[in-house]
Structure 1
Amino acid sequence: MKEMESRPHFLISLFLLLLASASSATPASPKDYTFDTPPPPPPVAAENTTLEYMDPTLPPLLPTKNPQCSLQLLQRDFASRARSQPEFFSYTPPDNCPSPWSRVVLELSASASEVQKDRIAAIWVAGAEILRTSTPFIMAPNVFWRVRKDVTRYTALLRRPTRFFMMFLNDSNATLHGVYSVNVSLHFYRGAVGQFNAHPVIRGLYPQPADLIIPISRAAGDATAGPGYWFRITNETDICTRTVLIPNNTYRAVLEVYVSHHGDDEYWYANPLRSDDVGAAGGDDLASKKPNGGFRQVVATIDGRYVGSVVPFPVIAPGSVNPFFWAPIAAIGAYDHPSYDLELTPFVGKLLDGRPHEFGLTVKESQPYWLIGANLHLWLDAWSDEVKGELVRYKVPPLRLGQQADWKNAEGKSEMEGQVIIRFSGWLSSSNGNVTTSVRHKLKFKTHVEVEEKGAMKSAEMEIKARTNLRIEKDHVVVARVVVETESPLNLVTVISNGGGGSRIRKTKLFHEMIEARSATEGKAGEWFSTITDRQESEGSVLIGEDSQLVWGSGDTKSTYKFRDDKKCYLRTVNMVGGKVEEDEESSSCIAAGFMALLVS
């Protein structure tokens, strides 16, 4: 993440001032380029304020049933780098509620004693990543937050004693003295739990948790990328690999990829396409050092051969764009970074030769730096010692990006767009019979960046659309279909003006959305569907001093989260104005969810 030095005593006062101020304005559309001049700081609020930073998404379980048992894994203070190290801690499955579990939920609860920057953090089990998260950008003391994640898919790792590993990357510095007090627990459920699931990957690609999970990550003890198990990608020529030998009775494989963008690529989605390196025109703090365009693609390979890819969702870090947008409402995916599932079953036949194979990960067009890692989920045939198979279709045309750019000095515009359709198919013969798995993946991408007024105004629009069709045939009869569709639009407008005395005022409007729809037909299980719409609109300003430090700022954010499946609905609307939550409404009414869908469509 981009480092932004701040004065602790000033930001403490600043945030408390913002809490005392409440504007009734609702965030406008980012395409409306009219901005209000930010007001001066209001009077000081009480110093004993405590504040919850929240992620307004659906929790993995609604409180309809208590867990069978809970296990605290870690209680630790993470202070400055000089005093704090990555934490290893032992895990033993609970004796009073052994597996099988119907649901396992990871809970990370934390607080910060003083002002602190946002940090990237992760938790691994036996080298496999199960959570990637960001801490809030702490602008006041006594802030606390909580992350709850369904980790049922990792039960293969939780059935036996092992080691957990947790780390905060650059978890402090010499000038900011905030200490993170962190608790990590697991909650185990047995029997029916009657829950919603915020990210229902347990259905479709994960009908049952895998039998074996193999980390595709940096080996422990390899210090080339610093602490942690993640690979560090600095450019597209960096291909990080891990050699794996898979069991001969494997009949299914899914690669789950975790990735996050930092440093020069923190704002890759707003990166213009230019032939010359002119730096940050007009004092634009959201510019990359190399204007190579706003397209990034995470690519997975086996033995150097392409096996899948994804354009990642642009998670906005809590200290990015305008930190006051994300206090106290987190940006989409910031506290629970999304992972991406690549169906590798068509390739399993090529891996059942008793030899090790090299799994690779890279990020196309990347700049320093990206953190990436993956988990290989494998399903094993308990009734067979050996599975046979073959890849029968492999159609991977190149993704050709159309590029247009028209620049004159600090002004101009650029566009990048492209689409591709990938097809794989392979058969496997096991105790389940002769089963053919076919994958069709369509990706469509478009980005537009425009700079006007001698670099003072910048707008970026991006849209990612993807559709994956999974078809399973047995004895030439289709027995299951799964369709996953995602859409991720983003609109960002920034205007920079003279704030006097060498300072700058940056005014920003942002619209961001994650849409996911899943549907399936699974034999006797029938048909099901689910949709998630996570939408945010933000508007605000910051005053940036001559030394590039934040002097003061404000931000309003409206967040709308809607989940619906074939049985249930959930709707939550949170409206934050000037750092204060003015509205926080939840509903499980499908009528309300349907009405909201009409309003935002």
Structure 2
Amino acid sequence: MDPDPALPYSLLGPPPHLLPPRPPPPLPSPHAPARARRYAPPSAWPRPLWLDWRAELLRASTPLSPGPAAHGVSWRVRKDITRYAALLRPRPRPRPRSPAADDDDDYDDAAAAAPATFTMALGSSNSTPLHGSYSVNLTLHFYRGAALKPPLRGLYGDRPADAVVPISNDAGGCSSAGYWFKVHDEADAKSVPVLIPKNAYRAVLEIFVSAHGGDENWYANPLRSTGPDRYRFSDAATATAKPNGAFRQVAVTVDRRFGGAVVPFPVIHPNSINPFFWAPVAAIGAYDHPSYDLDLTPILGLYLDGEEHTIGLTIKDSQPYWLISANLHLWLDPLSDRVVGGLIRLKVPPLRLSRQADWRELDGKSSIDGQVIMRFSGWVSSSKGNITTSIKHRLKFKSRVEVLRQGAIKEVNLDVKARTDVRTERKKGGTGRMSVSQEFPLYIETVSSSGGEGSAFERTKMFHGLTETVRMAKNKEVVCSILDDRQDAEGSVFMEDGVAKWGSGNTKSIYKYRDDKQCYLRTVNTAGGEVKDDTETTSCALVAYL
């Protein structure tokens, strides 16, 4: 079920085939230079794909649409959904209960299998109507034989889970609130009761989360207690945000016991910062929002009693609003109806953040720094043996926001470093190790000048990146993969009441991937809404050089 098994894939970075194809060029605005373009402001409401109504497979931002384009814009997003294979297997419908049907030996269970239902929502958070239409085609590619061997997949190991349990909003729907939960603040925790099979021996929680409304540009939010109660970074959406700083953290609990936490990757929506950066390329993760994995195996033994247990989700320091859901991936013992396990160690010190701010009217600076090390250890005994899983998660966070010249210069620096080390030990010998290291740097500098009557001309420079390194060692075999995805952009935009009216942007995107068997490099340069250069290679020498 890998749509392109020859190409690598990473949870937090879009695979190279997620760079959208070149769209037809938009028509120039009659009131702007030839290299400037006028764009219809897109909605930041995500476009999700659900399976069987509740399990989220994909979350994407609305593609940026040029204004009066003759033929519209076409985008293609491809994602490997092998990890959801358990949801794609045929599930038999209940046999008919009539006596005649019960005696019918010709009843075909396979033919009566319940089909899987795919659902896509195309909602909008815009208050004004957006005229036009979307044409969506969804295609699933299935592979067998040699193509079934998956690439390196981090916490998912070498095969998908046997069961996937959605942690989603049963009361939602495509025509209303969606199957995700809407989180307004840190106190607005969401919880779902879950029945974990007694023969589960591994568990990984996959979290989908995205920021909207006043928190859409949380990564640029300053920390201040006095002065104007708003901050705008080339986007009217943040006008309602309170200046509580650029730190957000997604936390998970199981029966109110801490299960893990992650800092979300700063996804930049197509209407953020300078929308002319994002045509015709997309920001990192914009059209395939990253999901985040937490290995719950060390605490799994506490919840194998056949009773319902509650999984809770919350977002620290959040503001209205965030959309969150999750999938619980479970590996089941086929040779046993029940396994046993227990918790050995749970050491989770509080994340201590250093918050500093110095403001005088509009000008000033603020910073948030923090780091923490969390440790989990537990054992599960199944037909595969008595296996102890130990996890060490390290997080280092740094945020800087500075404003100069009465708000004319705004500078944002964000750097998140995280590393998860997983060690498995069998009681009768044999060990396995895996580590996932990630770094998310973001730098934005905007210089603005007033145009009068609520308008401004802004010039922005930006760097955004993702580096992810995965290492796995089992017995004497060691495999490694390195992904490096980065973007540099520079351009200008004319704003009226926080809405981009016209402008231009140059964006350089570089995607590199390398493992023990293959390499891939793609560079895309755009200027003025057009692709100037698009080069790709599988030469490992070039990948190592650039």
| Both proteins in one fold, TM over 0.5 | yes
State the shift of 1:434 in Å: 0.7
1:241 to 182, 191, 201: 191
Q: Name the TM-score, length of structure 2 as normaliser.
A: 0.85
Change (3 A) 1:360 1:321: same
Residue 147 of structure 1 aligns to a residue whose secondary structure is coil
Which of the residues 254, 257, 270 maps onto 1:305? Answer: 257
Q: CA deviation at 1:275?
A: 1.1
Q: Please say if 1:291 is aligned against 2:233.
A: no
CA contact 2:249–2:315 (8 Å) conserved in 1 = yes
In the alignment, residue 528 of structure 1 is paired with which amino acid?
A: V
- Note the C-alpha offset of 1:205: 3.0
1:479 and 1:282 map into 2 onto residues whose CA distance is 51
Q: Residue 394 in 1 paired to residue 346 in 2?
A: yes
8 Å CA contact retained: 2:447, 2:460? yes
CA distance in 1 between counterparts of 2:427 and 2:481 reads 29
Aligned to 1:594: 544
Contact 1:263 1:369 in 2 (8 A): yes
Counterpart contact for 1:281–1:455, Cα < 8 Å:
no
CA-based RMSD of the aligned residues comes to: 2.6
Q: 1:42 aligns with which of 34, 55, 75?
A: 34
Q: Distance in 2 between matches of 1:364 and 1:400?
A: 13
**How far did residue 476 of structure 1 move?**
6.4
- Aligned partner of 2:261: which letter? S
Matched, 1:257 2:257: no
Q: 1:426 aligns with which of 356, 378, 393?
A: 378
* Structure 2 residue identity aligned to 1:128: A
Q: Identity percentage over the alignment?
A: 52
Distance 1:433 1:405, change over 3 A: same
What pairs with 1:328-343 in structure 2 (closer than 5 Å)?
A: 328-343=280-295
Aligned residue in 1 for 2:136: 182
Residues 248, 387 of structure 1: 8 Å contact kept: yes
**1:468 Cα deviation (Å)?**
0.3
The aligned residue for residue 220 of structure 2 is: 270
Local SS of the residue matching 2:298: helix
State the aligned residue count. Answer: 493
Code of the residue aligned with 1:169 in structure 2: it is G
What residue in structure 2 maps to residue 191 of structure 1? 145
| Aligned-partner SS, 1:393 | strand
CA distance in 2, matches of 1:115, 1:512: 22
Whole-Å Cα distance in 2 between the matches of residues 330 and 436 of structure 1?
42
Give how far 1:403 is off: 1.1
The amino acid that maps onto 1:542 is V
CA contact (8 A) 1:276 1:291 kept: no
Within 5 Å, give how 1:377-526 maps onto structure 2.
Answer: 377-475=329-427, 477-500=429-452, 502-523=454-475, 526=477
Q: Which residue of 2 aligns with 1:214?
A: 165
1:396-434 deviation digits (Å, cap 9, x = unpaired): 000000111111111110110000000000011111111
Cα distance in 2 between the residues matched to 1:210 and 1:551: 48
The residue matched to 2:468 in structure 1 has which SS?
strand
Maintained 8 Å contact 1:282/1:455: no
- 1:125 is matched with 51
For residue 222 of structure 1, report the CA deviation from its aligned partner. 4.3
| Aligned counterpart, 1:16 | 27
Q: Quote the residue 1:9 is aligned against.
A: none
Q: Indicate if the aligned counterparts of 1:471 and 1:478 stay in contact, CA closer than 8 A.
A: no
Match of residue 152, structure 1, among 82, 99, 109: 82
Which residue of the other structure, out of 577, 580, 592, is the alignment partner of 2:530? Answer: 580
Deviation at 1:523, TM superposition (A): 3.0
Give the secondary-structure state (helix, strand or coil) at the position aligned to 1:401: strand
- Equivalents in 2 of 1:324, 1:354: separation in Å? 54
Q: Distance in 1 between matches of 2:126 and 2:59?
A: 18
* Distance across 1 between alignment mates of 2:384 and 2:149: 30
Between the aligned partners of 1:331 and 1:460, the Cα distance in structure 2 is 17
Q: Find the aligned partners of 2:256 and 2:36 in 1 and give their Cα distance.
A: 59
**Structure 2 residue matching 1:562: 3-state secondary structure:** strand
* Cα distance in 1, alignment partners of residues 545 and 319 from structure 2: 43
Unaligned runs of 5+ in 2: 1-23, 91-114
Give the alignment partner of residue 537 of structure 1, picking from 484, 488, 493. 488
Normalized against structure 1, the TM-score is what? 0.78
Distance across 2 between alignment mates of 1:168 and 1:134: 10
